[in-house]
Amino acid sequence: MQLRKLLRYGYRSLTGEPHEKRDFSFYVMNQLAKWLDMRIYNKHTNWQDDRDFLAVMRRFDPRYPRIKERQFFLYNLARSLRHLPGETAECGALGGASSHVIMSAFEDDRPHHIFDSFSGLSEPTEHDKPETTEVRALQAGEFASPLEATRRNLAEHPHAVFYKGWIPERFDEVADKQFCLVSVDVDFYEPTRDSVLFFFPRLVAGGALVCDDYGFSTCPGAKKAMDEAAESLGRKVIHVPTGQGLILK
């Protein structure tokens, strides 16, 4: 049955309408993905081809190959919050890609606060152990990138403010500020918990906190921290299919 379908699609891709060639490629790739217990995106979504977003990312990295779904989602989320007052922040910036996404989306000079050890991940707790050994456990010290490199990468954004140190050591320096968007991307339980509990009360009405690691089997502690914090704040996490989790104010 599958073979007949494959032959029929294959024949049509050679003789039929232009879209049939694409349909055939998609069919073959989809079957292969299913066989490997994976999946590929719907062939009719068009976010992958968003030229404006690609241009934004090529400013950050001229060799940026193709749109990454989490960055695309973050960009659209940030753009939808531009009308709000309040500043923006990121906990866990590494080389600065998602901070670039946020500041490019806002297109104004409101301060963007960046908190990072610039020495990589902190120590994991027992909550950070993946459920199965088929998933690699992240280690302390991974994702280390020097502050100066991130500063250089974000040179086009003079309103970026850097706070080097272990979360939450330097949070008190922004304790009197209000935020409309906070991105949390620190992978493990403790810094995710500390970031959410500090920043959520400082979000303006309509603001959002997004956790980049929420739906990843490599980061069970981030999910636990978000769920517990949301519960204590009387909120539910919105789990989006990119793997991100959001809490709205």
Q: Which residues bind ligand SAM (CB under 6 A)?
A: 92-95, 97-98, 116-118, 120-122, 143, 145, 166-167, 185-187, 191
User: Tokens for 32?
Assistant: 């292969």
CB of 152 to ligand SAM, least distance (A): 15
Nearer CB in complex with ligand SAM: 121/180: 121
Residue 143 DSSP SS3: coil
Nearer CB in complex with ligand SAM: 25/125: 125
- Rounded CA gap, 178 and 66, in Å? 34
CB of 192 to ligand SAM, least distance (A): 9
Nearer CB in complex with ligand SAM: 93/230: 93
CB of 182 to ligand SAM, least distance (A): 12
Question: How far is CA 143 from each of CA 93, 95, 96, 185, rounded to the nearest angstrom?
Answer: 10, 9, 12, 11
Torsion sign, CA atoms 73, 71, 40, 138: negative
Residue 35 DSSP SS3: helix
Q: Are the CB atoms for 106 and 87 separated by under 8 Å?
A: no
CB of 73 to ligand SAM, least distance (A): 13
Which residue is at the shortest CB distance from ligand SAM? Answer: 92
Nearer CB in complex with ligand SAM: 57/97: 97
Nearer CB in complex with ligand SAM: 121/246: 121
CB of 90 to ligand SAM, least distance (A): 6
Angle between helices 69-80 and 97-106 (to 10 degrees): 30
